Every structure is written in structure tokens, then in C-alpha cells.
Amino acid sequence: MASAAARERYARKNEQDELERAFRTIDKKGDNKIDADELNQLFLALGHKAKRGEVEDMIWEVDEDCDGCISWLEFQNLYTRGRDDKTGYEPRGLFNVVEFVMNDKEGCGFISLEEAMQIMYLRYGRALLDAQLEEVFGTSDLNSGKILTLTEFLHCLHASQVKQLLNRVTAKTYKAPPPTVKKQHK
């Protein structure tokens, strides 16, 4: 039986392979860059109607060299930062699209609960997997047959991320614990 570390290495290797496949899927021109036209083509193919400026914003958030495109290195960085983000403050627009493409292995325009499990396991761990599947899919039952389109997936993740940010303790919402009373011995 494989150790937990070996399973993690295997899963990360598969994750890297899926990330490369996702990049190639979006990079229709094959020039090792993703531009707004290619992202718009992806959305059109997946039946997602992007809001005005949404595609440009997604690129701008992660375009470190300001060339209007996303290189392979920028793509890897956006994914790693999004995956490892515990604060909820990393840009999630393109990251969520990439996760959808990584999960949609057949390129059919939707993902099933089963397809999403590996990447969600890597992101949230075993302890939180069922809760996250419930939040995104409305169920964690693998036999449910539940599927999501890109638009539904993005909407569910956005709602989940907003909820996560609203539940954070901030300076305004912090409540100090009650003071402890010291007992005096006589």
C-alpha cells in the first residue's frame, strides 16, 4: 500500500499534467501565450457569456510582464498562488476557469462531481473534501450524477468565496474574549 506522501506526489504529478493540458486547451494559437481572443473562444465553446471587461480583467490580474497575454510561467504562477492561497485574497477569476478546464478532461463543457474530486482533494484535503463538494455541487454523493457547466461552476465558486471572505474575522468583527477573573486566595 502506498504511503500518504507517495499518493500526494502522484496526485501532484497528475495535477501538473492536467495544468499543462489546460494551458494547451486554452492556447489555441499554439504560441505559448494566452490572450483575450483565446479566452473568449474558450468561453464561447463552453457556452459561457463573459461580462464586459471580465476577460481583460482576468488577464490583467495575472499578467506580470504587462504584455496583454499570459505566458506558461504566469499561468503556472496563477495556479500555484490560487491553489495555495489560504487568505482568499488571490485573484480567482482565471484560476477558477483553469480549474474547470482541468476537471473537464473530455472537453465536453461540463464537469461531474467525480471529475472534480482529485483537484478539490488537493486543494482542501480529505477533512474538508465533502464539505467543499457539498458547497459547490450541492451534494458529495458520487452516484448523484450531478454536473456543472462553466457558468454554474464559476457562480458556485464565487458564492463560496464571497461567503468565505464575509466569515473572516476582521478588526471590525473581532470580539475579544471576556476578561478572566483572578481568584484571590486568603
Q: What is the pLDDT of residue 107?
A: 82
Residue 45 binned pLDDT confidence (cut-offs 50, 70, 90): very high
Average model confidence (pLDDT) across the chain: 82
- The DSSP-derived string for 38-107 is HHHHHHHHTT--PPTTHHHHHHHHH-TT-SSSEEHHHHHHHHHHHHH-SSS-S--HHHHHHHHHHH-TT-
pLDDT digit string, tens, across residues 119-138: 677 667 777 888 877 877 77
